[in-house]
Structure 1
Amino acid sequence: MKKFWLATLLFLAACSPSGPSQTELERAAALAEGAVGKDAFLRTDKVRLLDSRLLDKDRLEVALAYDIVFTKDFPEAAHDLGAGLAPDLFARFGSSLAAMSLKMEYGLFRKGERRQRQQHLLLEKGKEGWQLADKQQ
């Protein structure tokens, strides 16, 4: 009888949907923070899954806690946001808006500074595993 229950538990465990891996959670946090690409001014670290809720078989809401570590000082990051723009009046205005937006989101920061963040994200299961959903609800 014990073997039957053990086999049943193993079967149910194998049939249950698997959640995202640690690598997939780290990638989702990095994408959500914009910490990907050559113009990234921060990186994510110590990503932890706090909670998850399966919405349907291919959509999962996760609550993550992680640290962000700034890889540039605020002035350098603000300058880099407007670096590819043409040097005209409208480009300077756009660069100023980007710097104001950056300051509103993160405040003033220094290279190497670490801050704790928490965020709820929507993940979708695709061909390449769990990924950040295109439309966050």
Structure 2
Amino acid sequence: MMRPTTSFAGLLLAALLLAGCAPSGPSKADVQEILQSQLDPSTEVVRVETVDQLNAAEQGDVWLTDVKATLRFPQSLTDVAQGMQENGGAAESLSRLGLMLRFGKFEAGETRPYRTRLKLIEGKNGWMRAEPTSE
């Protein structure tokens, strides 16, 4: 006959093993990388400094991910505009102009909170957006 403590330990071990198999969703690092590539892959205008809060829920193959992040602007709006005039290509200038319109006036070193919802899927090479950005 099995002792009660032995059977309890066995049940606890089984529960821990099963919990390890449950899908966990994207990590903060995954979301930070995706968000950075969505906002400004060059990181010259805006950087995703931290993902402060992450709430993810699985819906079929897609994970709905509510994100609260901190963005940092390494240059001022004036510096970005001057850089566009001096040495920006057409595509790069359009991208920077879009960021300037989106975030308005900003100073070098300024941080701002940022909230968004991402739809993510997990592929062979990691997490990615489930749909193109509409922002």
TM-score scaled to structure 1, two decimals?
Answer: 0.73
Give the direction of change, closer, same or farther, for the CA distance of 1:63–1:110 in structure 2 (3 Å limit). same
Give the direction of change, closer, same or farther, for the CA distance of 1:136–1:108 in structure 2 (3 Å limit). closer
**Identity across aligned pairs (percent)?**
25
Residue 2 (1) aligns with residue 8 (2) = yes
Give the direction of change, closer, same or farther, for the CA distance of 1:129–1:121 in structure 2 (3 Å limit). same
Give the direction of change, closer, same or farther, for the CA distance of 1:2–1:81 in structure 2 (3 Å limit). farther
TM-score scaled to structure 2, two decimals?
Answer: 0.74
Q: CA deviation at 1:106?
A: 0.8
2:4 match: none
Q: After the TM superposition, which segments of 4 or more aligned residues of structure 1 sit over 4 Å from their partners?
A: 79-82
Between the aligned partners of 2:118 and 2:63, the Cα distance in structure 1 is 8
Instruction: Give structure 2 stretches of 5+ with no counterpart.
Output: 1-6
Between the aligned partners of 1:54 and 1:15, the Cα distance in structure 2 is 15
Between the aligned partners of 1:136 and 1:41, the Cα distance in structure 2 is 18
1:41 corresponds, among 45, 54, 58, to 45
2:89 match: 84
Between the aligned partners of 1:13 and 1:134, the Cα distance in structure 2 is 30
Contact kept, 8 Å, 1:74 with 1:110, in 2: the verdict is: yes
Task: Give 2:132's aligned amino acid.
Answer: K
1:122 match: 119
Residue 50 (1) aligns with residue 50 (2) = no
Between the aligned partners of 1:70 and 1:81, the Cα distance in structure 2 is 16
Q: CA deviation at 1:134?
A: 4.1
Q: CA deviation at 1:46?
A: 2.0
2:62 corresponds, among 59, 84, 92, to 59
Between the aligned partners of 2:133 and 2:99, the Cα distance in structure 1 is 20
- What is the root-mean-square deviation in Å for CA atoms of aligned residues? 2.7
2:27 match: 21
Task: Pick the structure with greater CA Rg.
Answer: 2
Q: How many pairs align?
A: 124
Between the aligned partners of 1:126 and 1:79, the Cα distance in structure 2 is 40
Between the aligned partners of 1:133 and 1:77, the Cα distance in structure 2 is 31
Contact kept, 8 Å, 1:59 with 1:122, in 2: the verdict is: yes
Between the aligned partners of 1:78 and 1:131, the Cα distance in structure 2 is 31
Provide the secondary structure at the position in 2 that maps to 1:18: coil
